[in-house]
Structure 1
Amino acid sequence: MNRRNLEFACGIVIVGLLAGVAGLCTSLLLRFVEHLTYHYTFGTLLAGVTGSSPVRRAVGPMIGGALAGFGWWMLRRRAEVPPLAETIATHRCIPHVPLTIDAALQVLLVGSGASLGREGAPRQFAAALGDLGVSRWSLTERDREILLACAAGAGLAAVYSVPVGGALFATAIMLKTWHPRAVGTALITSSLAVAVASPLTHEDAPLDWPDPQLSYLLTAFAVVLAPLALGVGMAFNRLMATARAHHTPKNWLLIPAIAAAGLVIGICSIWWPELPGNGKSILTVTLNSGMTLGAAIIILFLKPLLTALFLRAGAVGGMLTPALATGAATGSVVALAINTWTEHHVSVPAVSLTCAAGVLAITQRAPIWAAIFVWELARPPWWLLAPFLVAAIAAHYLSMAIERRRIPNGHTGAVTSKRP
C-alpha cells in the first residue's frame, strides 16, 4: 500500500470517529436547549412543549431567536460562512471557526423551537472537525473532497442513527457519484459515526413504528400519491426559494426579525404543540395517528410557512425534516380524509411516510436516498420500502418530465464546451 492510500485509509477512520463526536455534541446541545426552553427533564420535545405553560411556549422561542440573531449578527460582521457543499466541491479552505459557531447557533435556534432542520449543524461541525483531522496529510483534492463530503453525511447519520441514509446522502447528494471508493468511504464513516454516537442515541430509530394493519395495495396507491407529493414538494421548494431570495441581513435587525419569528411560532404552539422544532413532533404524531383531519390541514399549511418565515428573517437551518414533516402532514390529510369520508380504511402512518418520501425526493432531487432515509427513520417492515421507492421515484420522474416540457428541445441553457 502506497502512502497516499495509507493516509486515505487512516483518514476514513479519523473522519468517521470525529463525525460521531460532532453528532454527539450537537445532539447533547440540542437536548440541553430544548429542556431549558420548555423546562422539562424527560421525554420528547412534544411532551415538553405540551407540558409547558402558554407563556413559556410563546416567550421561549422568542428569546432563543433573539440570542441566535445576536450571534449571527456578530458572526457575519466578522466572517463569511460559505455554503458547505459548495466549499467542499470547489476544494476551498474550510473556515473551521465560523462554520462551528454557525452550527452552534443553528442548534440554539432549533432547540428553542424554530421551524428549521437540525441536520445542517452536525454536517458542518463534522466537516470542520474532519478537515482539522486530515489537514496536514498529503491528500489529493479529490480524496479530500470525498472525505469531507463523507464527514458531512456521517454527521447526519450520527444524529438520526441512519448509517445507510448518511452514506447515501454523501454519495448521491454531495458527491453525486457511485464510485466504489466514495461509496465504501461513505459507508465506513457513517457506520463509525453512528457507533460513536450510540451512547446517546442507543442506535434506536428516531421514530417509533406503530405496527398497524397494512395492505400490499399500498404500493399501487403510492403511484396515486406521487403527483400530490410532486405538487407539495414543488410548492415547498418555491416557498423556501422565495424566502431565501431576499438579501440576508447582516445588521442588528437580525435580532428583532428572528425573535419575531420565534414569537409567531411560540404563539402558534399554544394551539398546535407539534409545530416547534425540526418537524420530528409532527412525524411522531402522524405515526401515532394522533392528529385530527382539521389539525393535519392546519399543520400542513403552517409548517412550511413558519419555516419560510425564519429563513426570511435571516436564520439558517436544515430543510430535510421540515420537508419530511410537510410531506407527512400531506399524507395524514389524505389518509384521514379517506377514513372519514369513505367506507375504506387506510393506514395513516404508512400513507404519511409514503407521501413524505415523495416530497423529500422532490426537495432533495434524490429519490432512492429519500425512500431509504424515510424507511431508516422509522424502520417499518421491509416491504414498505417498495411503496416509498415507488412514490419517490414516480414523483421525481414526473418532476423531470415537467422540466423537460418547460425547456424546448431539451436545451438547459447551460454552457457546454465543445471538443475538436
Structure 2
Amino acid sequence: MSNTLTDYRRLSKLRGHRQINFIRAAIVGVAAGLLAVFFQHALHQAEALRGLVFSYAQSFPFGWPLFALFCATLGGVSAWLTVRFAPEATGSGIPHTKAVLLHLRVLPWRRVIPIKFIGGVLAIGAGFSLGREGPTVQLGAAVGAALATLLKVPRRASAHLISCGAGAGLSAAFNAPLAGFVFVIEELRRELSPLTYGTALIAAVTADIVTRAIIGHSPSFEIRNFPSLPLSALPVVLLVGVAAGIAGVAFNRLLLFSLQQVPRLRSNLPRSVRAALIGVVVAAVGWYVPDVLGPGHGAIERLLHMAETPTAPGVKYLLLLFVLKFLLTIVCYLSGVPGGIFAPLLAQGALLGLLVGSGVSSWLPEASGGPAALGVVAMAAYFAAIVRAPLTGVVLIVEMTANYDLLFVLLAASMTSYLVAEWVGEKPIYESLLQLNLSLRGPKESKNLEPILIDVVVEPRSPMDGCRVRDLELPRGCLLVTVKKGGEEHIPGGDTLLREGDEVTVVIAGERATSSSFVRSLAVAPYD
C-alpha cells in the first residue's frame, strides 16, 4: 500500500512538472515570436537600404565600386562581430542547436542573441545569399535557454525549452506553426514523448499568434493561388523529384567539400577579410543578376507568378539563375557570417521546378501541369533531399500555399527526392555540418555537470524492444525513472518489460554527451 501511494505521488509530481513546462513553452513562444518579428523588420529595413544603394550606384557610369564597398563592409563587419564576440552564431545555427540538444555544445544566449541578430541583419542586408530562417531558429533556441536560466529551470529540463524555442522561431519565420512543430519532432528531437510534442506545439502556435498579430497572416513566401496538378502530371512530378534528389545531393557534397577545404587553406587572411572579399563577389554577381541577391523571397515570388504569363522567363535565364544561386549560396556560407540556407534552398528548388516545368511544357504542354505549380512542388522536394526532413518540407509548403490539393504531389515528389538521396547514401545536411564541426573542434560540454533528463520512444526491433530494465546495461550514472505504456505512466522495476511504443524517461549524470547518445541508440531500430 505504501509503495502504491509513493508511486502515485511521484507520478502526480511528474504531471505537475509537465504542466509547468507547458506554461513555460507558451512564454518561450511569445518571446521567440516577438524576437523573430523584430529580426524580420530589421532585415526588411536593411534590404531596403541595399536597394537604395544599388539604385544610387547604378545611376553612375562606374557605380559598381560603391555597391561593392557597401557589400564588403557589411559582410566584413558581420564576420568580425561573430568571430570576436560569439563564434557560436556562425552560419545557420541549426547544427549548433542540434549539438546543444545532444549536450555536445553550450548555448551562451547572452552573446548569441545580439550577435546573431546584428550579424544576420548586416550579412543578409549586404545581399549575401543566405536566409533568416535558420538564424531565427537559433534565436528561438537562445530564447528558450534564456528563459531556462532566468526561471532557474533545472538543466535536465532545459532541453525542452530550447527545442520548443527553436520550433517557435521557425514557426514565426515562415508564419507556419505546423511546420515549426514538425521540424522539432522530425529534425531536432526525433522522438514523440508527450512533453516534447506538447511543448513544441504550444510554443509554435503562440509564436505564430504573436507574428500574425503584429505583421499579418502573410507567409514567408507569397506562393498562393497556384493551380493544382492533375493526376496526369504525376510522371512529371516524379521527374521533378528525381531532379531535386540529384541536385540536392550535389549541393550537399559541394558545400561540405568546400567547408572541409577552408581549414586546409594556409592563409593568414582573417575571417572578416574573407567575408569582405566574398561581399565583393556578391556585389559583382548581383550587379548583373540582381535576382540572386539575398535569400530570394521576392525574386522567387515574382518568377513563380510570371511563369504562367507571356512574360515568363526563358529556360536559359532560369538555368543561369539556378546555377548562380546554387554556387553563391555555398560561397556565402563559407564566409562564416550569421545566415542560413533554409530560404536559399527553397529558392533553388523553385528555380529547378520552373526549369523542369518550362522544359516539359515546350514538349508536352498537356502533361506538365504548369511550370509554376511544379516550382512550388520542387521547393518541398529539394528541401527533402538536402535536409532529409520531408514532412517538414511538405507541411511548410502546404501552409504557405494554403492549397491542400497539392498534398499528394508534394508527398510524391518529396519522397522521390528523399529516396534518391538515400539511395546514394547522402547524409542530411545539418547532421553532416554538425559532424564536420565536431571533427574540427570536438565536443564542448558545460562545466556544470548537473544531471539531465531525456525522453525516448522505443522503436520496433530496437535493443530496448522486448528487453527488461535490469538487462539494459545502461552506462554508469543513468537511471530509468518512468515508462509510459498505453497512456499510463509507471515507475519501472528491474522486471519491467519494455515494448515498442513505450515512452521512456532517463536521468543522466556524469558523461552526459556519451551516455545520452548511447541511451538514444538503444531505442532506435538498426538499419537493415
Distance 1:401 1:384, change over 3 A: same
Give me the whole-angstrom Cα distance separating, in 2, the residues matched to 1:339 and 1:58. 41
CA contact (8 A) 1:163 1:191 kept: yes
Q: Offset of 1:346 from its aligned partner?
A: 3.0
Q: Offset of 1:19 from its aligned partner?
A: 0.8
Give me the whole-angstrom Cα distance separating, in 1, the residues matched to 2:322 and 2:352. 6
Higher relative contact order (CA 8 A, sep 6+): 1
Q: Offset of 1:139 from its aligned partner?
A: 4.0
1:357 pairs with 2:372: no
User: Which of residues 254, 259, 265 is equivalent to 1:244?
Assistant: 259
User: Which of residues 263, 271, 283 is equivalent to 2:280?
Assistant: 263
- Give the match for residue 184 of structure 1: 198
Give me the whole-angstrom Cα distance separating, in 2, the residues matched to 1:143 and 1:92. 16
Q: Offset of 1:137 from its aligned partner?
A: 4.0
CA contact (8 A) 1:37 1:61 kept: no
Distance 1:247 1:268, change over 3 A: closer
CA contact (8 A) 2:74 2:126 kept: no
Give me the whole-angstrom Cα distance separating, in 1, the residues matched to 2:37 and 2:149. 22
Give me the whole-angstrom Cα distance separating, in 1, the residues matched to 2:69 and 2:390. 36
Q: Which secondary structure state, in structure 1, belongs to the residue aligned with residue 293 of structure 2?
A: coil
Larger Rg, first or second structure (1 or 2): 2
- Give the match for residue 88 of structure 1: 101
- Give the match for residue 161 of structure 2: 147
Q: Offset of 1:148 from its aligned partner?
A: 0.8
CA contact (8 A) 1:114 1:310 kept: yes
Q: Offset of 1:261 from its aligned partner?
A: 2.1
- Give the match for residue 371 of structure 2: 348
**1:217-236 correspondence runs (5 A):** 217-236=232-251
Give me the whole-angstrom Cα distance separating, in 2, the residues matched to 1:269 and 1:141. 46
Q: Offset of 1:132 from its aligned partner?
A: 1.6
Q: Offset of 1:335 from its aligned partner?
A: 0.8
Give me the whole-angstrom Cα distance separating, in 2, the residues matched to 1:229 and 1:336. 15
User: Which of residues 3, 11, 17 is equivalent to 1:4?
Assistant: 17
1:53 pairs with 2:39: no
- Give the match for residue 22 of structure 1: 35
What is the root-mean-square deviation of aligned Cα atoms in Å?
2.9
Q: Offset of 1:214 from its aligned partner?
A: 3.9
Distance 1:160 1:50, change over 3 A: farther
1:36 pairs with 2:49: yes
Q: Offset of 1:6 from its aligned partner?
A: 4.2
**1:143-222 correspondence runs (5 A):** 143-205=157-219, 206-212=221-227, 214-222=229-237
- Give the match for residue 111 of structure 2: 98
Q: Offset of 1:163 from its aligned partner?
A: 0.7
Percent identity between matched residues is 23
Give me the whole-angstrom Cα distance separating, in 1, the residues matched to 2:196 and 2:314. 45
CA contact (8 A) 1:222 1:391 kept: yes
1:91-119 Cα deviation digits (max 9, x unpaired)? 75421133120342022211221101211
CA contact (8 A) 2:78 2:120 kept: no
**1:122-141 correspondence runs (5 A):** 122-137=136-151, 139=153, 141=155
1:365-414 Cα deviation digits (max 9, x unpaired)? 111111111222232x211011111111122123223329xxxxxxxxxx
User: Which of residues 118, 122, 130 is equivalent to 2:132?
Assistant: 118
Q: Offset of 1:59 from its aligned partner?
A: 4.1
| More strand as a share of residues | 2
Higher deviation after alignment, 6-15 or 351-360: 6-15
Distance 1:246 1:293, change over 3 A: same
1:12-49 Cα deviation digits (max 9, x unpaired)? 11111111011111101101111112129xxxxxxxx7
Give me the whole-angstrom Cα distance separating, in 2, the residues matched to 1:246 and 1:132. 35
CA contact (8 A) 1:207 1:283 kept: no
TM-score, scaled relative to structure 1: 0.85
TM-score, scaled relative to structure 2: 0.69
What amino acid is the match of 2:100? Answer: T
Distance 1:95 1:342, change over 3 A: same
Give me the whole-angstrom Cα distance separating, in 1, the residues matched to 2:59 and 2:413. 39
| More helix as a share of residues | 1
User: Which of residues 345, 359, 384 is equivalent to 1:323?
Assistant: 345
Q: Which secondary structure state, in structure 1, belongs to the residue aligned with residue 294 of structure 2?
A: coil
User: Which of residues 372, 375, 380 is equivalent to 2:395?
Assistant: 372
- Give the match for residue 413 of structure 1: none
Q: Offset of 1:122 from its aligned partner?
A: 1.6
Q: Offset of 1:75 from its aligned partner?
A: 3.9
Aligned length: 400
